[in-house]
Amino acid sequence: MRFNPIIEKELKIKMRSWKAPALITVYLVFLGLIIFLNFLGTRLLSPYDYGQFGPSTALNSYNILAVFQLLLVVFITPAMTGSAVSGERERQTLDLLLCTNLSTHSVIIGKIFVSIAYIMLLITASLPILGTVFFYGGIRITDILLLFAFYIVTALALGSIGIFYSTLFKKSSVAMVMSYLTVLFLLFGTVIVYGIWVRIFMRYSTTPVTLAQTMAFMFPNPLYGFGSLTEGMSYNIPFFGDIFRFGFSMYGGSQYAASAPVILGITLKPWMANIGFDIFVSILLILISAYRIKPVKGLWRKKRVKSGELKVESEKTV
C-alpha cells in the first residue's frame, strides 16, 4: 500500500529544513522554562527554603502545560489549515494537483495531515516533559494517553473546519477569518446560548437542569470536553473544571451528576460526547471538502447533458 504522496512530499520538505528541529527545541525549552518558573515561584528552588516538597506543585505544572497545549491546538490549527486549499488556488497549482491520479479524498486528507503534523509533533515531543510528574505521583500513564488522544481528535476536527472553509472560499484570508469565527462560537457561543437557555428554563420550570440537558448545548465545546476529561482524572485544572461543572452547584447538585445519559449500558461523559462530535464533524467536512474540489461533479453534469445544455459550465472546475 503506497503512502499518500502529498503527505510524503510535504513532510520531507519540511523535516529536511533546519526550521523543524529548531522549532521543536525552542518549544521544549519554553515548556521547561514554564516548569522552572513554576517551581521557582513556589520557593522550591530556594537554598533558604527547607520546606517539604508538595506533590501538588508538580501537578500544577502539569496542568499549566496541558492547558497551554490545548490552546496551541485550538488557536493554531485553523491558521495552518485555512489556507491549505485556497493557497493552492491562489498559486494556481490546484488544477495541476487535481490532474494527478490522486482522489480528492486523498488530497483533502493529505492536506489536513500535513497541516496538523507540526502541532502533533510538538505535542508528542513534549510527552517526556509532561511525564516528569510521574516522579511525584498523582497521575497515571493512561491519563496522559487519553489527553493526547483528545488533542489529536480536537486538532482533526478543527483542521477539517479550516479545510472546509478553504475549499468554500477562494481567498485564504476569508477562509481563516471564518475558521476562527467558527472556533470562537464553539468556545464561547455555546456557553452564551446555554446560559440564556438556563435563565429561561429556570424561570418557567421548578425542576433542576440535568447533565443531559447541559450536554445538549455544550458537547461541541472543546473546553467543556477538556474540563470533563480533567475532572475525571486525579487532578483538576481551574477554570476548565469550572466549565464542566457549569450549573452543577446552582442547578441541581448531586441530582445533576446523577442525570448523566446512558447509552448501551455506558454512562456518557461530556468528553465522550465531545470526541464523538469531533469525529462526526471531521468525517462530514472531509467528504464535503472532497466533493467541493472535485473537477467534474458527475451528477450535476449528467443532468445538464440530459437537458441538452452542453455548456462549459457543466464541467465547472473549482
Which tens digits make up the pLDDT trace of 229-243?
876 554 555 555 555
Which triple of cell numbers denotes residue 157? 476536527
**How far is 125 from 25, CA to CA, in rounded Å?**
9
**How far is 198 from 213, CA to CA, in rounded Å?**
10
What's residue 248's pLDDT?
A: 44
Nearest to 110 by CA among 286, 284, 280: 286
Which tens digits make up the pLDDT trace of 150-204?
999 999 999 999 999 999 888 888 999 999 999 999 999 988 888 888 888 777 7
What's residue 285's pLDDT?
A: 93
Contacts of 281 (CB under 8 A, 6+ apart): 157, 160, 161
What's residue 63's pLDDT?
A: 79
**How far is 81 from 175, CA to CA, in rounded Å?**
9
The answer to whether the CB of 163 falls within 8 A of the CB of 289 is yes
How many other CB atoms are found less than 10 A from the CB of residue 144? 18
Q: What's this model's pTM, rounded to 2 decimal places?
A: 0.80
Nearest-Å Rg of the Cα atoms of the chain is 23
44, burial (CB in 10 Å: exposed 0-12, middle 13-18, buried 19+): middle
End-to-end CA distance of the chain: 29
User: Any idea how long the chain is?
Assistant: 318
DSSP 88-147: HHHTT-HHHHHTSS--HHHHHHHHHHHHHHHHHHHHHHTHHHHGGGGGT-S--HHHHHHH
Q: Phi/psi of residue 297, each to 5°?
A: -85, 105
> How would you classify residue 54: left for phi > 0, otherwise alpha for psi between -120 and 50, otherwise beta?
beta
Q: Give mean pLDDT in consecutive 10-residue pieces for the chain, a chain of 318 residues.
A: 71 75 84 78 56 64 82 87 83 80 83 84 82 71 86 92 90 90 92 86 75 82 84 55 49 47 64 90 92 68 49 46
Which triple of cell numbers denotes residue 168? 468554500
**How far is 202 from 204, CA to CA, in rounded Å?**
6
Which triple of cell numbers denotes residue 95? 488544477
Q: Domain map of the chain by residue range? A: 5-315
